[in-house]
């Protein structure tokens, strides 16, 4: 914890967040150091003899050559324990509410507040007894962190098989109090309610499992068309204002994950405030509890130091892994991974590294891969299933997807929700483009959907095919106008309209429609499919499309999603029958001699 | 312009004579001791005229100093650099309202510098995201295109994306004249930062404020086109530093105008290039996003503080290209954008606010029931949808001719004309109350068949749709 004996480490150069220091012969890569009189937090990113390059997580204004540098002996680590849920941290896990309570509304420098309040007390319930043998990842006891989260106090992954020498009884314990003593081969280890873990190191698991369950998001275009599985990775790229943040907020609100980690990485302060104000008020549709009881926020906004932005992604994913290790399904949202990549670029430039594409460091693809690889469905060390799903926003310059971050990200994710500026401009939300997006999880999770609705695959394929045909037809329409097309083709345009307005468009701010249950998704799609099939045969039989369009019940179809909520599927079915009847009426009319 | 810098603290800091290198706005001073990163430096030329600079990079052997007032006339041997022992700070006080300063905060109006012992680092500090208050008070600007479809709220950062020769100054001036809260409330204080704009632009704004009787509520920081370009890097920071004081210490509602951000970014590019940094897109530095964010994020509201900072930055898009790095990165940071459209302008429509690419992200929380009117969100969404359709059909009509369009398509085109000429367009002194804007919206929507209006509920239609239009 001290500088190497007899040497005094001091700053030799300051170039923004990158500081060079000398006298650091004993220091280790990625060790955390405190720089200057204020003790600015930094991390060693390069070692060369006794010279070190330090990336400083705070503004370095008025830092001077000669200023002292103190080693901490530890890599950048997070605190793991009860009290994480509901909290909001900066990129290096400094608790923003506690900072506000101490220092007011502005973020000063040299802040060193513990991520979890050491004075907090929690009710611990042991689940093992003295004398028992325990293995890494095994649960020693439970703490009810929030009404939604039964927090497991686990044997740290770095402790090999051990015997429980002592375990605390059920009762209130301080965060840093010893609740268990384990006898290991290397001596006794004391276990407290809090543990530390270096953020850049993935927490170990027993094995990876294939993705098999959908992560249900309540968003129709995602769940039905481009689903993500629990343990899956998705990217959501789009130009500014196309809906990356709102979509991620929607997913954070309505996904059926146990824990949500939302990383605001180089984005707006107000967006974090919005989550902070909203989530405690919104009730999870499944548990009926406030969403904040399962959510952790990391806020390193665009105007906060860029080095801490780089770290924020790792901080977030390390917290996610910890909850995954409890056998939970965690969803991580990173908004925006492009800002993180830019932080890498900025730091690399200051380190005078050779740039690769568009100034990004050559390590960009590796770093992206490492991040997304920390997602996945796994069997934990304790032998339970757990998962981390990752959704990363990508903000390509000029909205052009051919740039390096989008391109490399595509190599490491299997689900791509391409946002489209034209759709966003027309206020068609979510502006996820149905032709340019894809999901590789459809096969993996279709089993689940088929149990809900045996026709799911067929319905989905039919709808997507229709939209593709419409897309091609639009090329012709652009040249000759829609009216010149035969009715059979105009029908495709018409049904595609119904699909877009009545199914795909989903307003995040509509009380009834912001969350759509799988059953309602299927019901809505089914109605449109029936209209299509029936109309097609009517047109074949010579009925004019104009007659079909005029049907009063059909006009209501577009609004059905906002009229009937998740509990009103019967009414959707009733409307469907009414439409059928009206369509049948046209047949009868036609068929009458 | 050359009153001795009020900001520097006399008789402080160490002085060095001579520079190892002078290149563009950068001066390299060697063997500097005890100077800090971002420290303020005063450089004196042979004639004794002081110029301000700041430290960009410092090691044990040399400091790279960025001279904010240009390096012309400086020489290696005679240059004298005094390190002032602190970063750039601005004395702030509410008495700065009604005053005009240069780009570095020195009075331009002939009056003595304002008295204040309250010195603030012009870089400011980030607001703790946990301390922010979400902005949601609707500001009526009296412009239908903004109020109806891209509403502004108090504490929002909403820039204007314009092009050379487009009337962004007039639009902005009209907003300043007309902006108010629905239930009245106190008037805005205005902090104006001009970066690299021509003298007459600054003159225009100040005259506009004078005419509307607002001059005593305006503080102006002018770094005009003839001022050294590096100076511009500081000007918006000074303006925002004062704005933060007025908003969060004095509890005022402040409207900050920054014009023209494109000039600001060019200065940043200039310095980056001279330092030999790896350029990003179009030669702009890779940290342009973070740098712009350090300005734009200095807007908003703080929990428990009565004041607010609303920010309108004007930028001109080179060749009207919205994907150019300056508008692009701005759009990624701000809470929407008002885009001016050359085509509308050429067709004589004022204000030429583009229907589709404009966006206000905070609109959803500041309008509707309890804020403006219940029908507002659906109406706005429907207007966007219909106008998007107009654009599609216009493209089609360009190919097949208007005559070949079906009757409905022709009706939509007509809607487009009406929308542009009656809803978007309005007089430069016409101040439309929000109710007028919304009623007008419905009236124009009613020129379309009722069943084409998918975005509004049957209930709202029955209340607002006017049959027989
Ligand atoms: N599903 C939705 N329902 C309703 N409105 C939406 C939806 N998605 C996006 N929007 C609208 O689009 C605006 C922009 O969305 P958002 O802030 O998510 O964009 P973004 O892609 O994150 O942009 P940036 O890259 O600049 O952060 C929102 O303010 C909202 O008005
Ligand atoms: Mg966003």
Which residue minimizes the CA distance to atom 31 of ligand 1? B361
Ligand nearest to the CA of B158: 1
Same domain, yes or no: B80 and B121: no
Give yes or no for residue B10 having a pLDDT over 50: no
pLDDT tens, B153-191? 999 999 999 999 999 999 999 998 899 888 777 789 999
Q: Does B328 touch chain A (CB under 8 A)?
A: yes
What's the mean pLDDT when you consider all of chain B? 91
Q: Percent of chain A beyond pLDDT 70? A: 98
Instruction: Say which CATH number the domain at B19 has.
Output: 2.40.10.170
Structure-derived torsion over alpha carbons of residues B131, B136, B137, B139, reported in degrees to the nearest 10: 120
Nearest atom of ligand 1 to the alpha carbon of B364: 31
Whole-number pLDDT of residue A591: 55
A395 in ligand 1 pocket by Cβ < 6 Å?
A: yes
Report the chain B residue with the minimal C-alpha distance to residue A306.
B290
For residues A343-359, give the mean pLDDT. 87
Whole-number pLDDT of residue B77: 83
How far, in Å, CA of B157 to CA of B299, rounded?
Answer: 6
For residues A470-481, give the mean pLDDT. 90
Domain boundary among B365, B394, B419: B365
Task: Characterize A316-346 residue by residue with b for buried, 16 or more Cβ atoms within 10 angstroms of its Cβ, and e for exposed.
Answer: bbbbbbbbbbbbbbbbbbbbbbbbbbbbbbb
pLDDT tens, A560-581? 999 999 999 999 999 999 999 9
How far, in Å, CA of B235 to CA of B226, rounded?
Answer: 14
Q: B126 and A12: CB-CB below 8 Å?
A: no
Query: What is the pLDDT confidence band of residue A3, given thresholds at 50, 70 and 90?
Result: very low
Which residue minimizes the CA distance to atom 29 of ligand 1? B361
Distance A102 CA to ligand 2 centre (A): 30
How far, in Å, CA of A350 to CA of A331, rounded?
Answer: 33
Total domain count for chain B? 3
Distance A248 CA to ligand 1 centre (A): 10
Q: How many CA atoms lie within 13 A of A373 on its CB side?
A: 14
Domain boundary among B87, B107, B129: B87
Give yes or no for residue B292 having a pLDDT over 60: yes
B394 domain-assigned = yes
B181 domain-assigned = yes
Give yes or no for residue A4 having a pLDDT over 60: no
Cβ atoms of A12 and A20 within 8 Å: the answer is: yes
Backbone angles phi, psi at B51, to 5 degrees: -130, 145
Query: What is the pLDDT confidence band of residue B47, given thresholds at 50, 70 and 90?
Result: confident
Q: List the domains of chain A with CATH numbers.
A: 8-75 (2.40.30.20), 117-193 (2.40.50.100), 207-440 (3.40.50.300), 453-591 (1.10.1140.10)
Distance B358 CA to ligand 2 centre (A): 16
Backbone angles phi, psi at A187, to 5 degrees: 115, 180
Q: B331 and A99: CB-CB below 8 Å?
A: no
Same domain, yes or no: B113 and B162: yes
Distance of CA A66 to the CA centre of its chain: 42
**A486 versus A2: which is more confidently predicted?**
A486
For residues A211-232, give the mean pLDDT. 96
Q: Percent of chain B beyond pLDDT 70? A: 97
For residues B43-64, give the mean pLDDT. 89
B334 domain-assigned = yes
pLDDT tens, B378-406? 999 999 999 999 999 999 999 888 888 88
Q: Return all residues near A214 (Cβ < 8 A) that are at least 6 apart.
A: A223, A227, A228, A229, A230, A441, A445, A448, A449
How far, in Å, CA of A76 to CA of A99, rounded?
Answer: 19
User: Please, which residues bridge with residue A394 across strands?
Assistant: A237
User: Please, which residues bridge with residue B340 across strands?
Assistant: B353
Same domain, yes or no: B319 and B199: yes
Read off the tokens for B250: 């004095």
Cβ atoms of A95 and A115 within 8 Å: the answer is: yes
pTM, full prediction: 0.94
Distance B332 CA to ligand 2 centre (A): 7
B371 domain-assigned = no
Instruction: Say which CATH number the domain at B220 has.
Output: 3.40.50.12240
Q: B131 and A105: CB-CB below 8 Å?
A: yes
Structure-derived torsion over alpha carbons of residues B341, B344, B345, B350, reported in degrees to the nearest 10: -100
CA distance A358 to chain B (A): 6
Report the chain B residue with the minimal C-alpha distance to residue A301.
B129
Residue A49's Cβ-count burial label (10 Å; 0-12, 13-18, 19+) is exposed
A514 in ligand 1 pocket by Cβ < 6 Å?
A: no
How far, in Å, CA of A423 to CA of A429, rounded?
Answer: 7
Residue with tokens 């890569």: A29
Residue to test with chain B: of A88, A301, A427, most B Cβ within 10 A = A427
Please report residues of B whose CB lies closer than 8 A to that of A358: 280-281
Q: Percent of chain B beyond pLDDT 90? A: 71
pLDDT tens, B423-462? 999 999 999 999 999 999 999 999 999 988 988 988 999 9
Please report residues of A whose CB lies closer than 8 A to that of B131: 100, 104-106
Read off the tokens for A572: 């959707």
Q: Select the residue of B121, B128, B333 nearest A100 (Cβ to Cβ).
A: B128
Residue with tokens 């520079």: B19
CA distance A1 to chain B (A): 27
Whole-number pLDDT of residue A373: 96
Q: B388 and A427: CB-CB below 8 Å?
A: yes
Cβ atoms of B17 and B29 within 8 Å: the answer is: no
Query: What is the pLDDT confidence band of residue B323, given thresholds at 50, 70 and 90?
Result: very high
Domain span at residue B277? 90-365
Q: Does B465 touch chain A (CB under 8 A)?
A: no
Q: A359 and B286: CB-CB below 8 Å?
A: yes
Nearest atom of ligand 1 to the alpha carbon of B331: 26
Q: B129 and A269: CB-CB below 8 Å?
A: yes
CA distance A516 to chain B (A): 18
Cβ atoms of A478 and B396 within 8 Å: the answer is: yes
Distance A240 CA to ligand 2 centre (A): 7
For residues B53-61, give the mean pLDDT. 92
Give yes or no for residue A188 having a pLDDT over 90: yes
Read off the tokens for A418: 């391409």
Based on its alpha-carbon atoms, the radius of gyration of chain A, rounded to whole angstroms, reads 28
Same domain, yes or no: B333 and B391: no
Same domain, yes or no: B30 and B169: no
Give yes or no for residue A592 having a pLDDT over 50: no
Q: Does B325 touch chain A (CB under 8 A)?
A: yes
B21 domain-assigned = yes
Between chain A and chain B, the number of residue pairs with CB atoms below 8 A apart is: 209
Q: Does B133 touch chain A (CB under 8 A)?
A: yes
What's the mean pLDDT when you consider all of chain A? 93
Same domain, yes or no: B79 and B100: no
Q: Does B119 touch chain A (CB under 8 A)?
A: no
Which residue minimizes the CA distance to atom 16 of ligand 1? A243
Helices (H), A351-416: 364-373, 404-412
CA B300 to each of CA A270, A373, B256: distance values in angstroms, whole numbers, following the listed order? 8, 37, 11
A430 in ligand 1 pocket by Cβ < 6 Å?
A: yes
What would the DSSP string read from start to end of B332-357?
HHSSEEEEB-HHHHHTT-SS-B-TTT
CA distance A559 to chain B (A): 7
Cβ atoms of B101 and B222 within 8 Å: the answer is: yes
Same domain, yes or no: B72 and B96: no
How far, in Å, CA of B203 to CA of B108, rounded?
Answer: 13
Same domain, yes or no: B77 and B99: no
Cβ atoms of B250 and B119 within 8 Å: the answer is: no
Which residue minimizes the CA distance to atom 23 of ligand 1? A241
Same domain, yes or no: B81 and B217: no
Distance of CA A313 to the CA centre of its chain: 11
B9 domain-assigned = no
Region of A455 please: left (phi>0), alpha (psi -120 to 50) or beta: alpha
Give yes or no for residue B114 having a pLDDT over 60: yes
User: Please, which residues bridge with residue B101 across strands?
Assistant: B107, B221
Which residue minimizes the CA distance to atom 9 of ligand 1? A243
Q: Return all residues near B101 (Cβ < 8 A) that are at least 6 apart.
A: B107, B108, B219, B220, B221, B222, B238
Same domain, yes or no: B28 and B99: no
How far, in Å, CA of A12 to CA of B60, rounded?
Answer: 6
The conformation of residue A301, written as its DSSP 8-state character, comes to: -
Please report residues of A whose CB lies closer than 8 A to that of B323: 397-400
Q: Select the residue of A65, A106, A507 nearest B127 (Cβ to Cβ).
A: A106
Chain B residues 228-267 with CB within 8 Å of chain A: 248
For residues B277-305, give the mean pLDDT. 92
CA distance B352 to chain A (A): 17
Same domain, yes or no: B225 and B355: yes
Q: What are the counts of helices (DSSP H) followed by strands (DSSP E) for chain B?
A: 13, 22
CA B12 to each of CA A571, B81, B86: distance values in angstroms, whole numbers, following the listed order? 80, 12, 10
Distance B365 CA to ligand 1 centre (A): 13
Q: B293 and A303: CB-CB below 8 Å?
A: yes
Same domain, yes or no: B455 and B331: no
CA distance A368 to chain B (A): 19
Cβ atoms of A56 and A17 within 8 Å: the answer is: yes
How far, in Å, CA of B173 to CA of B257, rounded?
Answer: 10
Ligand nearest to the CA of B359: 1
What would the DSSP string read from start to end of B375-431?
THHHHHHHHHHHHHHHHHHHHHHHHH-GGGS-HHHHHHHHHHHHIIIIII---TT--
Read off the tokens for A221: 């275009």
Q: Does B398 touch chain A (CB under 8 A)?
A: no
* First CA to last CA distance, chain B: 61
Give yes or no for residue A89 having a pLDDT over 90: yes
Region of A376 please: left (phi>0), alpha (psi -120 to 50) or beta: left
Sign of dihedral through CA atoms B116, B117, B123, B127? negative
Please report residues of A whose CB lies closer than 8 A to that of B132: 269-270, 272-273
> Best substitution site from A235, A241, A425 to test ligand 1's pocket, by max atoms within 8 Å of Cβ?
A241
CA A410 to each of CA A233, A326, A416, B18, B183: distance values in angstroms, whole numbers, following the listed order? 10, 30, 8, 54, 50
Domain boundary among B36, B56, B87: B87
CA A439 to each of CA A378, A403, A418, A557, A575: distance values in angstroms, whole numbers, following the listed order? 20, 21, 11, 28, 31
A507 in ligand 1 pocket by Cβ < 6 Å?
A: yes
Ligand nearest to the CA of A236: 1
Query: What is the pLDDT confidence band of residue A5, given thresholds at 50, 70 and 90?
Result: very low
């Amino acid at each position: 914890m001290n500088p190497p004996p007899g040497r005094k480490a001091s700053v030799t150069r300051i170039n923004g967040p990158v500081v060079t220091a000398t006298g650091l012969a004993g220091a280790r890569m990625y060790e955390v150091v405190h720089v200057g009189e204020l003790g600015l937090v930094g991390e060693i990113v390069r070692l060369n003899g006794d010279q070190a390059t330090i990336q400083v997580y705070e503004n370095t204004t008025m830092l001077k050559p000669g200023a002292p540098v103190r080693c901490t002996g530890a890599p950048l680590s997070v605190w793991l324990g009860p009290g994480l849920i509901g909290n909001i941290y900066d990129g290096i896990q400094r608790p923003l509410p506690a900072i506000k309570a101490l220092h007011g509304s502005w973020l000063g420098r040299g802040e060193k507040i513990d991520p979890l309040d050491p004075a907090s007390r929690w009710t611990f319930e042991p689940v093992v007894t003295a004398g028992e043998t325990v293995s890494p990842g095994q649960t020693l006891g439970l703490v009810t962190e929030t009404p939604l989260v039964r927090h497991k106090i686990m044997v740290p992954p770095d402790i090999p098989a051990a015997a429980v020498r002592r375990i605390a009884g059920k009762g209130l314990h301080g965060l840093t109090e010893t609740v268990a003593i384990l006898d290991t081969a290397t001596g006794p280890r004391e276990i407290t309610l809090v543990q530390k873990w270096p953020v850049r190191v993935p927490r170990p698991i027993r094995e990876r499992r294939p993705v098999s369950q959908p992560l249900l998001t309540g968003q129709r275009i995602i769940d039905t068309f481009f689903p993500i599985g629990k343990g899956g990775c998705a990217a959501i790229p789009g130009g500014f204002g196309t809906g990356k943040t709102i979509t991620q907020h929607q997913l954070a609100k309505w996904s059926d994950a146990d824990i949500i980690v939302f990383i605001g990485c180089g984005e707006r302060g107000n967006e974090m405030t919005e989550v902070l104000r909203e989530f405690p008020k919104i009730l999870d549709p499944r548990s009926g509890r406030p969403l904040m009881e399962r959510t952790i926020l990391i806020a390193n906004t665009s105007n906060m130091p860029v080095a801490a932005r780089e770290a924020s992604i790792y901080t977030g994913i390390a917290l996610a892994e910890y909850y995954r290790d409890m056998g939970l399904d965690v969803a991580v949202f990173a908004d925006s991974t492009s800002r993180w990549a830019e932080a890498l670029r900025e730091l690399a430039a200051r380190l005078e590294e050779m740039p690769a594409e568009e100034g990004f460091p050559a390590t960009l693809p590796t770093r992206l891969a490492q991040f997304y690889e920390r997602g996945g469905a796994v069997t934990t060390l304790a032998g339970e299933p757990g998962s981390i799903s990752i959704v990363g926003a990508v903000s390509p310059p000029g909205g052009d997807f051919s740039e390096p971050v989008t391109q490399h990200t595509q190599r490491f994710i299997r689900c791509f929700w391409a946002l489209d500026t034209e759709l966003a401009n027309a206020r068609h939300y979510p502006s996820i483009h149905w032709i340019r997006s894809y999901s590789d999880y459809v096969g993996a999770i279709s089993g689940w959907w088929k149990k809900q609705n045996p026709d799911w695959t067929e319905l989905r394929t039919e709808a997507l095919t229709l939209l593709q045909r419409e897309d091609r037809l639009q090329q012709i329409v652009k040249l000759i106008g829609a009216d010149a097309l035969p009715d059979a083709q105009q029908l495709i345009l018409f049904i595609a309209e119904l699909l877009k307005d009545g199914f795909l468009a989903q307003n995040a701010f509509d009380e009834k429609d912001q969350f759509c249950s799988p059953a309602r998704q299927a019901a809505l799609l089914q109605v449109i499919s029936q209209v299509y099939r029936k109309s097609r045969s009517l047109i074949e039989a010579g009925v004019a499309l104009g007659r079909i369009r005029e049907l009063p019940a059909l006009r209501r179809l577009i609004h059905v999603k906002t009229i009937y909520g998740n509990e009103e599927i019967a009414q959707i079915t009733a409307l469907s029958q009414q439409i059928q009847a009206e369509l049948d009426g046209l047949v009868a009319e036609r068929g009458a001699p | 312009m050359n009153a001795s810098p009020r900001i520097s603290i006399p008789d402080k800091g160490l002085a060095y004579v001579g520079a190892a290198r002078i290149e563009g706005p950068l001066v390299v001073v060697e063997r500097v001791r005890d100077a800090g990163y971002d420290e303020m430096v005063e450089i004196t030329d042979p004639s004794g005229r002081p110029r301000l600079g700041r430290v960009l990079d410092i090691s044990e052997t040399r400091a790279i100093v960025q001279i904010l007032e240009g390096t012309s006339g400086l020489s290696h041997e005679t240059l004298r650099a005094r390190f002032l022992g602190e970063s750039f700070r601005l004395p702030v006080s509410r008495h700065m309202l009604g005053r005009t300063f240069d780009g570095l905060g020195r009075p331009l109006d002939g009056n003595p510098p304002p008295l204040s012992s309250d010195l603030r680092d012009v870089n400011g500090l980030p607001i703790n995201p946990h301390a922010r208050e979400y902005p949601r008070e609707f500001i009526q600007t009296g412009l239908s295109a903004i109020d109806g479809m891209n509403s502004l709220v108090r504490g929002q950062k909403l820039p204007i994306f314009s092009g050379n020769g487009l009337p962004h100054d007039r639009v902005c001036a009209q907003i300043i004249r007309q902006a108010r809260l629905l239930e009245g409330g106190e008037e805005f204080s205005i902090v104006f930062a001009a970066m690299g704009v021509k003298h007459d632009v600054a003159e225009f704004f100040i005259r506009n404020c004078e005419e509307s009787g607002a001059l005593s509520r305006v503080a102006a920081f002018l770094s005009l086109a003839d001022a050294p370009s590096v100076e511009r890097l500081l000007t918006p920071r000074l303006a925002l530093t004062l704005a933060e004081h007025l908003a969060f210490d004095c509890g005022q509602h402040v409207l900050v105008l920054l014009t023209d951000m494109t000039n600001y970014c060019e200065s940043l590019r200039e310095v980056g290039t001279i330092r030999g940094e790896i350029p990003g897109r179009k030669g702009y530095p890779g940290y342009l996003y973070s740098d712009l964010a350090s300005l734009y994020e200095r807007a908003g509201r703080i929990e428990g503080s009565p004041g607010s900072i609303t920010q309108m930055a004007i930028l001109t898009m080179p060749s009207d290209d919205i994907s150019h790095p300056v508008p692009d990165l701005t759009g990624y940071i701000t809470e929407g954008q008002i885009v001016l459209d050359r085509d509308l302008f050429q067709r004589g429509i004022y204000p030429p606010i583009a229907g589709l690419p404009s966006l206000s992200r905070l609109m959803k929380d500041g309008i509707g029931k309890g804020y403006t009117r219940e029908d507002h969100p659906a109406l706005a969404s429907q207007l966007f949808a219909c106008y998007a359709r107009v654009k599609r059909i216009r493209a089609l009509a360009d190919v097949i001719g208007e005559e070949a369009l079906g009757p409905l398509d022709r009706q939509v085109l007509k809607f487009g004309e009406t929308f542009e000429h009656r809803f978007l367009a309005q007089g430069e002194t016409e101040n439309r109350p929000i109710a007028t804007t919304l009623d007008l919206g419905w009236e124009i929507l009613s020129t379309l068949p009722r069943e084409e209006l998918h975005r509004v509920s049957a209930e709202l239609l029955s209340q607002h749709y006017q049959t027989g239009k």
